[in-house]
Amino acid sequence: MLDVYKIREDFPILGKKVNNTDLIYFDNAATSQTPNQVIDVISDYYKQHNSNIHRGLHSLSADATNKYERSRTIIKNHFGALHEHEIIFTSGTTHGINIISSGLEKLISENDELIVSEMEHHSNIVPWQMLCEKTGSKLKVIPINDNGTLNMNEYKSLLTPSVKFVFINHVSNSLGIINPIKEIINLAHTNNSKVLIDGAQGAAHFKINLSELDVDYYVASAHKLCGPTGVGFLYGKSVLLNSLPPYQGGGEMISNVTFNKTEYADLPHKFEAGTPNISGVIGFGAAIEYMNSIGFNHIESYEKELLDYATENLKKIKNIKIYGDVDDKISVISFNLGNHHPSDIGSILDQYGVAVRTGQHCTQPIMDHFNIPGTVRASFSFYNTKSEIDLFIDALKKASNMLG
Amino acid sequence: MQSIQQIQDQIIDEFEFFQDWSEKYQYLIDLGKNLPNFNDNNRIDSNLIKGCQSKVWLNSSFDDNIVKFEADSDAIISKGIISLLIRVFSGHKPEEIIAADINFIEKIGLNSHLSQTRANGLLSMIKQIKIYALAYQAKK
């Protein structure tokens, strides 16, 4: 069992007041909050260990390098990668996607096709559109069903021999729906297509084993997993990462530099040019350790409890419309109330201290599918409580009354 | 005809009656609901103001050296704020609009209740209003 009130003590920000009232933070799908266990590690790094990594011979540099590389091992173990060098540290999910999209420029040609879905975040659409523009390849889109799930029959029929890559999110950021990625990957592999999974929303809510999933690339961000902003990772199978050209040139990513020819370093350094976000990476490792100390099985079942409780109580409100109300989803509820604009609801909720996200959530195609300007998105984390949900529902009713 | 500053002062006075944010919001919502109907022909993309999370359309006309504004939004609080802007700016000469120093938003305490997103949207609206006025002045 998870002791939520004890856990909340780890998060100093949860005691904050906004607009003279207690903060109720339901914008976890945008960024999660940071526990002392992570804040302290980052602060301690600058107080005790700050030094540039990998090339220094002095003790402080060795110390920082060990901590940085230890995070790689933590992340490798947690996500079930086979080797440390398959974990590339990035600035976040978007960076990871762009490493692959730019790497594919010379490997994709005009007769090739790429697949994305209608429910992708813009950051898993735009880099592929840019790749198509550069290479002349074609982007195909898996539509969603009216309940928000992926249309798997359409996916199967889109998987033609010319499809080289499939880019899908693990979990929809705007609806919270969990996609059947194992099936998606197997179908793609049978078709000789590679798969990149955008794990920005997936990685934080349940345990994943990347080598068992047999996924080719997986990208995620630390700040959705109680870690700091500006850091994330790209996982890739060794053979695939080795086949890609480097993303950026600079220090760290080379083994030999002359004006005649420069040789690139091996994985993972080939993709980690320049001084990385050392404290961020160390904080990321601490965040994974923190979440594992609570236990992902506990996190998953408690968040499901919050989701069910909130969904049940929201449905009692007149004129509520929930988008993507299916069984297989994380603790995200995307909804509208009558014809009220989501920004009106969000502004009033904010006055009651409730932080939610409103708008298109960087997924304009989904909003176009439902023909709406956006939604209100409440997303819960394992440190939220049912009494916060009660206050949120109460504030929502007051907002509804105010808007008339 | 009151000057732009006189209208702003009047709005500031009106808002002083409100005890808390909810009364201010309720007032804005009511203003939004009572905003005169927007001409559907003007609900076009070229009249959309960039930088707002909700859609905001702004249209202007110029006659007898007077600029008039009409606007609309798909969000009601935005409409309420627009209603105040129209009250302040509409019916004045271009040079008055260009020279106007807009201080009522801060004085009525709306700033602290506006998210950065919304505050940016508001700035875009004021900027667009002034751009119209500049264009009409140049045309004279």
* A-B C-beta contacts closer than 8 Å: 45
Locate the chain A residue with the closest alpha carbon to B27.
Answer: A402
* CA B44/CA B54 separation, integer angstroms: 15
- Tokens 């600079």, residue located: A250
For residue A246, the SS3 value is coil
If one counts every other C-beta atom within 10 angstroms of the C-beta of residue B44, the result is 10
Q: Does A21 touch chain B (CB under 8 A)?
A: no
Instruction: Output phi, psi for A291, to 5 deg.
Output: -65, -35
Domains of chain B: 4-139 (3.90.1010.10)
- Please state the rounded mean pLDDT for residues A307-336: 97
Contact A347 B118 (CB under 8 A): yes
For residue A395, the SS3 value is helix
Exposed / middle / buried, residue A8 (Cβ in 10 Å: 0-12, 13-18, 19+): middle
Q: Does B53 touch chain A (CB under 8 A)?
A: yes
- Positive or negative, the CA dihedral B87, B93, B94, B97 is negative
Q: How far is A345 from chain B (nearest CA, A)?
A: 10
CATH 3.40.640.10, chain A: domain bounds: 39-292
* CA A291/CA A298 separation, integer angstroms: 10
* CA A198/CA A204 separation, integer angstroms: 12
Contact A347 B25 (CB under 8 A): yes
Task: Give contacts of B20 with chain A, Cβ < 8 Å.
Answer: none
Q: Provide the H-helix boundaries in A136-195.
A: 152-158, 181-190
Contact A343 B113 (CB under 8 A): no
Exposed / middle / buried, residue A46 (Cβ in 10 Å: 0-12, 13-18, 19+): exposed
Query: Over chain A, what is the mean pLDDT?
Result: 96
pLDDT tens-digit readout, A367-392 = 999 999 999 999 999 999 999 999 99
Confidence of residue B117 (pLDDT cuts 50, 70, 90): low
* Closest CB to B22 among A340, A351, A373: A351
* CA B126/CA B5 separation, integer angstroms: 15
**A155 contacts A140 by C-beta, under 8 angstroms:** no
**A49 contacts A23 by C-beta, under 8 angstroms:** no
Q: How far is B76 from chain A (nearest CA, A)?
A: 7
**A108 contacts A131 by C-beta, under 8 angstroms:** yes
Nearest partner of B79 among B127, B130, B122, judged by Cα: B122
- Positive or negative, the CA dihedral B26, B31, B34, B35 is negative
**A226 contacts A232 by C-beta, under 8 angstroms:** no
pLDDT(A107) > 70? yes
Nearest partner of A96 among A235, A212, A294, judged by Cα: A235
Task: Give contacts of A348 with chain B, Cβ < 8 Å.
Answer: 25
Nearest partner of A62 among A45, A49, A48, judged by Cα: A49
Task: Give contacts of B115 with chain A, Cβ < 8 Å.
Answer: 347, 350
The yes or no reply on domain A39-292 and CATH 3.40.640.10 is: yes
Exposed / middle / buried, residue A130 (Cβ in 10 Å: 0-12, 13-18, 19+): middle
pLDDT tens-digit readout, B55-110 = 899 999 999 999 999 999 999 999 999 999 999 999 999 999 999 999 998 888 87
The model's pTM is: 0.93
Q: Does B23 touch chain A (CB under 8 A)?
A: no
pLDDT tens-digit readout, A326-366 = 999 999 999 999 999 999 999 999 999 999 999 999 999 99
**A131 contacts A170 by C-beta, under 8 angstroms:** no
pLDDT for B124: 87
pLDDT for B49: 87
DSSP string, B49-107: PTT-SS-EEEEEEEETTEEEEEEEESSHHHHHHHHHHHHHHTTB-HHHHHH----HHHH
* Closest CB to A358 among B53, B74, B76: B53
Q: Does A336 touch chain B (CB under 8 A)?
A: no
Task: Give contacts of B81 with chain A, Cβ < 8 Å.
Answer: none
pLDDT tens-digit readout, A235-279 = 999 999 999 999 998 888 888 889 988 888 899 999 999 999 999
**A30 contacts A362 by C-beta, under 8 angstroms:** no
Contact B55 A359 (CB under 8 A): no
* CA A380/CA A329 separation, integer angstroms: 12
CATH code of the domain occupying A4-30+295-403? 3.90.1150.10
